Structures are given as structure tokens and as C-alpha cells.
Amino acid sequence: MRSTRLGLALAAMAAVLLTACGGSSSAGGASGTVRLSGWTSTPAEDKLLTDQIAAFQVAYPNIKVTYEPVPKDFRTKLKAQLASGTEPDVFYVELGDAAGFMQKHVLLDLRSEMAKTGTKASDFSSGVLAAFKTGDAIYGIPKDFNTLALFYNKDMFTAAGVSPPTKNWTWQDLTDAAKKLTKAGVFGLITNSDSARWAPMVYQNGGQVLNADNTKSMLLDPATVEATKYYTSFKKNGTGTYSGALGSGIDWPGAAFAKGKAAMVMEGGWLIPFMKDYPAIKWDAVELPQGKSGRGNLVFTVGYSISAKTKNPDASWILVNYLTGLDNQKTVLHSGFALPTRTALANDPYFAANPAAAAIFAGGAYGKPFSWGINSGKVADAISAALERILLNKQSVDDALKQADKEVTDALAS
Amino acid sequence: MAVGTSAVVETNTALPTPVKVGPRRGRPWGEWLTSYAFLIPAIIVIGGFTFVAMGVALFLSFFKYDGFTLEWAGLHNYAKALASADFHRALLNVVYYMVVVVTCQTILALSMALVLDRIMVGRGVFRTVYYLPAITSSVVMGLIFSWLFSPGGWVGSLVGIIIPGARQFGWLLDPLSALPAIMTTTIWSTAASFMIIFVAGLQDIPTHIYEAAKIDGAVGWRSLWNITLPLLRPTIFLVVVLGTIGTLQVFDQVYVMTNGGPLKSTLTPVFLIFTNGFRDFSFGLGAAEAFILFAIIFAFTLIQRRFIDTTVEY
């Protein structure tokens, strides 16, 4: 009898304690440690995130954020961590990995967490959010996005007597300008062996990379072949080249542009803060030229996802919600790094004052996500290798695409 | 090596035994425990990171594994690797790399050792200077050489003096010159450590043999050809075998300098294993390729053992 009473008393106490704990967390007082991981970018861009984390720590002192930046091979490390079950609570997910991760069920469906803070799917640009959705389930919040724009060197255009590009430029305008702008030590346009620069031209020409459900290679589609011929024509005609051929330290098209070795490059918002270190170059950017099928572009985005195995979903979500919140997206936009995914910022006055950012933002309306399903990596590799063979004069466009088509078909079948 | 070992054995038997070293069974427990306690760190490190890892890799090579789901594949991974054009390309590349690098680094290391052996003044300084590349991280070395080989870099500028227009040539960007550029980097960095092995080998050769030869009139090239090289055979064997194993496993220079490109001209088996395993997440395929590479290295070592006679009689 006595022992029963004691047992009951203990049970009651436990119940009170449990309710108390539960109560505090549902009231938004989530606490604990949240591990956050992403790759490092330029020092300025890294500072943006560390500042946001510091501000978060002030606003939510009960949640301790452990930031684990990965300087190189972040995706490799993340996959290894996911495989071994040691992944952080919150991490970057690149567009190309999203499909595979969702298929493997390693990401947390955010809908119930979003409901707790009143965050709605409709707050975000639907085209960008789509990359992180399976059906109605949402597995990541895009932190920002980017598209490509045509960056041009104003002084070089003036010197060559070419009127600056407009958003209504056609492929012919681009070809003509590249020819006139090429002179000793300067190339008109940089075309690297990179599927992410080639694909917009495929879309502008009405071509496809894969079919709509990413199950079949469309590399031999006549429009795709024609676009590939056009993309590689600059190198062939001597009015363009790839950045690696330009000397030490020029490891991407943006560096060629910044060092005055190229009059035009097709890059995204990441080039804007990079150019701050090269004040001598006067530049601007417009939307990419139009092909025979009109406009085409790629959308690049990175999302914050939460591990399906996290022990602290509430605190993790509060961090994600904070980092992708209106204030932070505004800061990122005004810094010029990337564009906001929150629709509330679409009419921000920043765009009127910064035509380059507006041009990149405009690409989001018609750009396609830079993802070719769960085999994105292998597809991009096969295309980049084919472009490399063409640019190095090792294969004709037709032969290179035939080989890539076979490789992509094999990759899709495995 | 063989010489060193036999010398030690001889000294041991010749010495009187002041401490009674009994049979293992007679050893006190404490001593037994102490000796194993000293071995524990090594057992954990070598066991955990080498033997367990090898076992897991062997296991995985029979499965289709992407880090999430494990699926029995039998010999499928081995068949796929052996039929893969990339793997063939990687093997051809690495054999070409091995032949050139092992030949050049052995000759270079031996020459440097012979020079060091003659120098009487400042030997320590030269030895340190020659050895510096061996203790420099291969990543740092790769970065420095990428810079030297870049268009407009030092190598291009030097060659440009003779051949106009070569200054802007990108050595790592052309499929024909990329692998030789990596070979140069490797030869330059590894010759130094093999030089030290040769220096030790040269000091093992008893001076009385040279003195006797001198009386018989064998000096200079004859003494090098008829005495030094034959007596150095065990060391040469060691250097060639270590060089072969090392070159067949080349990874870091490729990773840092070219990433396997351009056009797969610098793709090597270990780089391919890394790509398959850690970028494409086909761990099973990567593991199978690793075991095929192991079999090839094992075969090379056996063949070399057969063809290089390592027994030396002084």
C-alpha cells in the first residue's frame, strides 16, 4: 500500500515535470545546441553568415549554434556524414543534391515546424522553392538564388566603338560585339567547358538537356547541337576562350573579367562583390541575349535543410527561419551577393538602383533550375567533358555530343 | 637491408647474455602486460585504420552501396571496373607515369647520393638542401608547380627563350603535357627521400673493397660500374619497389594540379577510385577498383623480386 502511494506520488511529480518541459518548448523557448554546416565562400560572404549567426545568438540566447564551415569538398563531406549518421542539424543543400537527398529520406519535412512559426510556403518564390519539394512536402528553404547575366566592360565597349549591350540583344549581336572587342590580350567572351554556362544557350535555342522527367538524354536534339556549336564558336573564331588559358590565377571567367582579359562574361551575382576588389574596371550587366526561342537562363539556389535525424528540430527550425527571414534576406540583397527568395522583397528599391541585380533577378522568371534530377552530377560531368573536347579541338561538336549522349544514357540507366 | 639485419643477428649471438632472457612462457605476467600496453596505440591505429578499413572495403566491393542502402552485387563491381573505359585509361596513364617516374627518380637519386658521398666539406648542408623537397607537403608542392606550369609562368618563360610563343603555353591544360608536368613535380620531390636511402646503401659498402680495386687499377667509372652498382643491388631493389608502389598510387598531385583532366589525360586509378567512391558515391565500385589495383601492385612487386637479384656477398 505504502509503496503504491509512493509510486503514484513519483508518477505525478514526473508528469508535472514532463508537462513543464513540454510547455516551455511549445511556447517557442527551444534551447540546446544546433550544428550548422556549409561551405566557405569569399571572406566577405562568409562574414555575412557569421554576422547573422552572431545576431541570432543575441536574439536566441538559449540556442547555441555551432558553425562548422567546410572550405573544400563540402558536398563530399556532407554525404559521408549523412552515410555515417554524423551530419549536422542544419546544412546547405545544393540544388543538384536536393533530388537525391529527398529520395533517400535524409531531410526533415519542414511543414509542421513551419506551422509553429507561421511561415508559409507562399512566402517564397514558388519556382525556387519547387527544387526542395516532393509533392507538398518541403525539405528545404532556399536561402537565396542567382541566375546568369551578361557582364560587360564599359571602357572596352567605348574604346571599340560598340554600343553597350541591352536586354534585347540577340545571338548575332553577341557574335558581332565579341569580334569587335577582341584585340591583343583581350577576348570578347569567356566560354568555359562548364555545363552551367552552356545550358542557358541551349534553352535560348529551344533545346533540351534531358527530357522533362530527367529520364532520357536530349543532347542530340538538333536545337541542342546547334546551341553547342554556337557556344563553342567564340573559341573557334578566336573571339573568345576559356579562362584557364589566360594565365596563372585566372581560374574562373570572373577573374578573367576582373583582370581586364575579357570584355564579356556570363556570370551571376557572385561576381558583383568580387568586382569591388577591382575598382579600375567599369562594368555593368544586362539580361542574357535571346536566341531563336527567346530567353533562357539557369536558376542556382542553395537551401537550408534540417537532418531527418536531428534531436532538436524546434531549435534547428528557429535557426533556419531566422537565417531565411525577411531581414536577413534584405541584408544579403543589399550586399549584392544573391537575390532574395522571399516574394515580399521583389519590389525592393535596391533593384531600381542596381540594374545588374535587377537583370539577374529577372532571370528567375524564366530560368530553369540547375538540376537534372538524381544524376545531375554525372550529366554535368559528361557535358563539361564534351565541351572540353570541343574547346581543345579534340573532337567535332557532333562527335563530342554523341559521346556525351552515350555517357548520359549510361548514367541514367544505372 | 639484408646486410644490416644479418649484422645485428651476428652481434647478438656473439655477445654474452647478462640478462637471462627465458622462453616466453617463463616471462612474468607484468612484463608481458607492459610490452602489450606499449603496443596498444599501434594496434588501435594500424588495426582500426588499416586492417578494419581493408576488411570493410573488401566487403563493400561485393555490394552496391551509395552510403544509404546496401545491395548485394556479387562480382558485378569487379566486372564493371574491368570493362570501364575510364579504368583502362587510368591504368594506361599510371603505367606510363610509373615507368618514367621510377626510372628518372632512381637515376636522379643515385646521382645525388654519389655526389653527396664524394663531398667532404659541407656535406650536412647539401644533404639538408637536397632533402628539403621530401619533407614539403605534396599539396604545397602541387600548388607551387601548378603556378610554375601555368600560362606565363616560370616554365613557360624559360622555354619561351628558346621557342617563341611558348610563354603563354598552359602545360597543365594540354592533354599531351599535363601528365609529364605532374611527373616532373613527383620526380623532383621524391628523388630526395630515395637519395637518403642510397646514401645509407653507399655507406654500407666496405671501403676495403674499393681499396683493393684501386690497387688493381679500377677507379672512376670502372669502380662505379663493377663495384658500387652491383653491391648496391639490394638498395636499388628497395628504391625501385618503393617507387613503383608509390607511383601506382599517385593521387595528391593529380588532385591538386589537374583533377584528372584535361580530357582524362592525368586520370589515375586512385583518383578514379576517389571520384567513384566519394563524389559519385559508388563505394562498391571504388572498393573493387582498389582491390584490382592492389592485385596489380602485388604482381609488379613479385615480378621485380624475380628479376632483380638482391643477394650480395661481400
| CB-CB contact of B223 with B213 (8 Å) | yes
Residue ranges of A 216-275 with Cβ closer than 8 A to chain B? 244-249
CA-based nearest distance A73→chain B, Å? 9
Q: Which of A43-47, B142-146, B156-160, B280-284 has the lowest mean pLDDT?
A: A43-47
* CATH 3.40.50.1370 correct for A149-296+372-413: no
pLDDT of res. A17: 42
pLDDT of res. A210: 95
CA-based nearest distance B174→chain A, Å? 8
| Same domain (yes/no): B187, B94 | yes
Chain B residues closer than 8 Å to A389 by CB:
263
* A73: nearest CA partner in chain B: B279
Domain count of chain B? 2
On whether the pTM is more than 0.80, the answer is: no
pLDDT of res. A47: 87
The fold adopted by the segment(s) A31-146+300-356 is: D-Maltodextrin-Binding Protein; domain 2 (3.40.190)
B205-232 tens-digit pLDDT: 888 888 888 888 877 888 888 888 888 9
Residue ranges of B 162-191 with Cβ closer than 8 A to chain A? 168, 170, 173-175
Helix (H) or strand (E) holding B53: helix B53-60
Binary contact (B67, A394; C-beta < 8 A): no
Q: Tell me the mean pLDDT in the region B134-161.
A: 89
Question: Which of B67, B150, B264 is nearest residue A82 as measured by Cβ atoms?
Answer: B67
B21/B70: higher pLDDT: B70
B98-146 tens-digit pLDDT: 999 999 999 999 999 988 888 778 878 888 888 888 888 889 999 999 9
- Asked if residue B170 is part of any domain, the answer here is yes
Chain B residues closer than 8 Å to A408 by CB:
none
Binary contact (B151, A248; C-beta < 8 A): yes
Answer whether B219 touches A (CB < 8 Å). no
pLDDT of res. B26: 62
pLDDT of res. A377: 83
pLDDT of res. B56: 93
pLDDT of res. B313: 59
Mean pLDDT by 10 residues, chain A (414 residues): 46 44 46 92 82 94 93 86 91 89 92 94 86 91 93 96 94 96 93 95 96 92 96 95 81 92 94 90 95 93 94 95 93 85 89 91 88 87 93 93 94 84
| Same domain (yes/no): B100, B219 | yes
- Asked if residue B302 is part of any domain, the answer here is yes
B130-139 tens-digit pLDDT: 888 888 888 9
pLDDT of res. A38: 92
pLDDT of res. A87: 94
Compute the half-sphere exposure of residue A77: CA atoms within 13 Å on the CB side of its CA.
Answer: 13
Chain B residues closer than 8 Å to A82 by CB:
67-68
* B153: nearest CA partner in chain A: A248
| CB-CB contact of A357 with A85 (8 Å) | no
Same fold, A31-146+300-356 and A149-296+372-413: yes
Query: pLDDT-based confidence at B306, cuts 50/70/90?
Result: confident
Q: What is the mean pLDDT of chain B?
A: 85
| Same domain (yes/no): B44, B185 | no
pLDDT of res. B251: 94
B157/A398: higher pLDDT: A398
pLDDT of res. A382: 92
Domain with B50 in it: 24-60
C-alpha cell at A367: 530560368
Answer whether B4 touches A (CB < 8 Å). no
Question: Which of B146, B263, B280 is nearest residue A392 as measured by Cβ atoms?
Answer: B263
| Same domain (yes/no): B176, B290 | yes
Binary contact (B147, A248; C-beta < 8 A): yes
pLDDT over 70 at B310, yes or no: no
Answer whether A77 touches B (CB < 8 Å). no
| Same domain (yes/no): B182, B209 | yes
Cβ neighbourhood burial of B176 (10 Å; 0-12, 13-18, 19+): exposed
Percent of chain B with pLDDT over 90: 43
* B167: nearest CA partner in chain A: A247
Question: Which of A73, A76, A247 is nearest residue B150 as measured by Cβ atoms?
Answer: A247
Note if the bond before B262 is cis, omega within 30 degrees.
Answer: yes
CA-based nearest distance A206→chain B, Å? 29
pLDDT of res. A160: 94
- Which residues are bridge partners to B65 per DSSP? B70
pLDDT of res. B111: 92
Domain extents in chain A: 31-146+300-356, 149-296+372-413
Binary contact (B263, A247; C-beta < 8 A): no
pLDDT of res. B312: 63
Query: pLDDT-based confidence at B309, cuts 50/70/90?
Result: low
| Same domain (yes/no): B29, B150 | no
B310/A103: higher pLDDT: A103
Q: What is the Cα–Cα distance from A15 to B158, expressed in whole angstroms?
A: 81
pLDDT over 50 at B9, yes or no: no
Query: pLDDT-based confidence at B14, cuts 50/70/90?
Result: very low
Chain B residues closer than 8 Å to A247 by CB:
150-152, 168
pLDDT of res. A14: 46
| Same domain (yes/no): B39, B110 | no
- Asked if residue B267 is part of any domain, the answer here is yes
Query: pLDDT-based confidence at B286, cuts 50/70/90?
Result: very high
Q: What is the ipTM of this complex?
A: 0.70
| Same domain (yes/no): B129, B46 | no
- Asked if residue B312 is part of any domain, the answer here is no
pLDDT over 60 at B18, yes or no: no
Q: Tell me the mean pLDDT in the region B59-68.
A: 90
- Asked if residue B202 is part of any domain, the answer here is yes
Dihedral class, residue A70 (left if φ above 0, else alpha if ψ from -120 to 50, else beta): beta
The label of the residue with cell 559508388 reads B282
* CATH of residue B234: 1.10.3720.10
- Asked if residue B11 is part of any domain, the answer here is no
Q: What is the Cα–Cα distance from B248 to B228, expressed in whole angstroms?
A: 29
